[in-house]
A and B are shown apart, each in its own frame.
Chain A
Amino acid sequence: MRINVGQRLRSQVDSTELIVTRASSEEVDLRCGGAELIELGHPPTAEPQVLAVPEAPEPRLGKRYRDPDGAVELLVTKAGTGVLTLAGEPLIEKEAKPLPASD
Chain B
Amino acid sequence: MSLSVLLDMMADARPDQVALGTLEDGLTCAQLRSAAIRGSAGLRPTERRTVVYVGVNGIDFSVALWSAVLAGMSFCPLNYRLSAAQLRRLLDAVPDPLVLVGDGYESLLADCPAPTRSLTGFSTTACDHTAGVPAAPPVGDDEGSVLLFTSGTASTPKAVVLSQANLLSYVLETVDFGSAEPGDAIVVSMPPYHIAGLNAALTNPYAGRRVVYLPNFDAATWLELVRRESITHAMVVPTMLARILEFLGGALAEVPSLRTLSYGGARMPRAVLEGALAAFPSVDFVNAYGLTETSSTIALLGPADHRAAAASNDPLGRARLSSVGRPLPGIEIEVRSGAGALQPPGLTGELWVRGPQISGQYLEQGSVLDEYGWFPTRDRARVDAEGYIYVEGRADDTIIRGGENIAPTEIEEVLIAHEEIVDAAVIGRPDEEWGERILAAIVLAPGASLDADAVRDHARDRLRSSRTPDDVVFVDALPYTSTGKLIRRDLARVISRAHPARPGPSADGTASRG
* B220 part of interface (Cβ distance < 8 Å): no
Given contacts A61-B13, A62-B13, contact A102 B1 (CB under 8 A): no
Distance in Å: Cβ of B294 to nearest Cβ of chain A: 13
Q: Which residues of chain B in 311-346 are interfacial with respect to chain A, using CB atoms and an 8 Å cutoff? A: 328-329
Given contacts A6-B1, A78-B12, A103-B288, contact A98 B179 (CB under 8 A): yes
Q: Tell me if A62 and B9 are in contact (CB < 8 A).
A: yes
List of B residues within 8 angstroms of A98 by Cβ? 175-176, 179
Distance in Å: Cβ of B37 to nearest Cβ of chain A: 17
List of A residues within 8 angstroms of B303 by Cβ? 100
Report how far A17 CA is from B373 CA in the complex, Å.
Answer: 30
* A1 part of interface (Cβ distance < 8 Å): no
Partner of B168, one of A6, A99, A100, A103: A6
Residue of A nearest to B304 (CB): A100
Total number of A residues with any Cβ neighbor in B under 8 Å: 22
Residue of A nearest to B179 (CB): A98
Residue of A nearest to B303 (CB): A100
Residue of B nearest to A78 (CB): B12
Report how far A101 CA is from B203 CA in the complex, Å.
Answer: 9
Given contacts A6-B1, A40-B139, A61-B12, contact A102 B177 (CB under 8 A): no
Partner of A103, one of B8, B139, B297, B302: B297
Given contacts A41-B139, A62-B177, contact A102 B264 (CB under 8 A): yes
Residue of A nearest to B296 (CB): A103
Distance in Å: Cβ of B201 to nearest Cβ of chain A: 9
Report how far A11 CA is from B176 CA in the complex, Å.
Answer: 23
Q: Tell me if B199 and A103 are in contact (CB < 8 A).
A: yes
List of A residues within 8 angstroms of B393 by Cβ? none
Residue of A nearest to B299 (CB): A102
Q: Tell me if B302 and A100 are in contact (CB < 8 A).
A: yes
Q: Which residues of chain B in 220-253 are interfacial with respect to chain A, using CB atoms and an 8 Å cutoff? A: 233, 235
Distance in Å: Cβ of B280 to nearest Cβ of chain A: 15
Residue of B nearest to A40 (CB): B139
Q: Which residues of chain A in 8-62 are interfacial with respect to chain B, using CB atoms and an 8 Å cutoff? A: 8, 19, 21, 40-41, 61-62
Residue of B nearest to A41 (CB): B139
Residue of A nearest to B209 (CB): A101
Distance in Å: Cβ of B452 to nearest Cβ of chain A: 40
Per-residue contact bits, chain B 154-173, to A (CB 8 Å; 1 contact, 0 not): 00000000000100110010
Residue of A nearest to B184 (CB): A101
Report how far A75 CA is from B297 CA in the complex, Å.
Answer: 22
Q: Tell me if A101 and B177 are in contact (CB < 8 A).
A: no
List of A residues within 8 angstroms of B174 by Cβ? 99, 102
Besides A5-B356, A102-B296, 17 new A-B residue pairs in contact (Cβ under 8 A), listed by A number? A41-B138, A77-B5, A77-B8, A99-B174, A99-B328, A100-B284, A100-B286, A101-B204, A101-B260, A102-B264, A102-B286, A102-B297, A102-B300, A103-B203, A103-B204, A103-B264, A103-B296
B residues at A contact (CB < 8 Å):
1, 5, 8-9, 12-13, 138-139, 165, 168-169, 172, 174-179, 186, 190, 196, 199-200, 203-204, 207, 209, 233, 235, 260, 262, 264, 284, 286, 288, 296-297, 300, 302-303, 328-329, 356
